[in-house]
Amino acid sequence: MLFHVRMDVHLPRDLPAGERDAILAREKAYSQELQRSGEWRHIWRIAGAYANVSIFDVADNARLHEILSGLPLFPFMTIAVMPLLRHPSAIRDDDT
Comparing CA positions, the residue from 70, 10, 77 lying closest to residue 39 is: 70
Q: Write the DSSP assignment of 37-49 as a string of letters.
A: HTSEEEEEEPTTS
Domain boundaries, the chain: 2-84
**Spatial distance between the Cα atoms of 77 and 90, rounded to a whole number of angstroms:** 32
Work out the average pLDDT over 7-28.
Answer: 97
Q: Tell whether the model's pLDDT for residue 86 goes beyond 80.
A: yes
Q: pTM of this prediction?
A: 0.91
- Cα separations (Å) of 11 from 1, 23, 51, 72, 93? 30, 10, 11, 12, 39
Structural class in CATH, domain 2-84: alpha beta
User: Mind listing the pLDDT tens digit for each residue in 50-72?
Assistant: 999 999 999 999 999 999 999 99
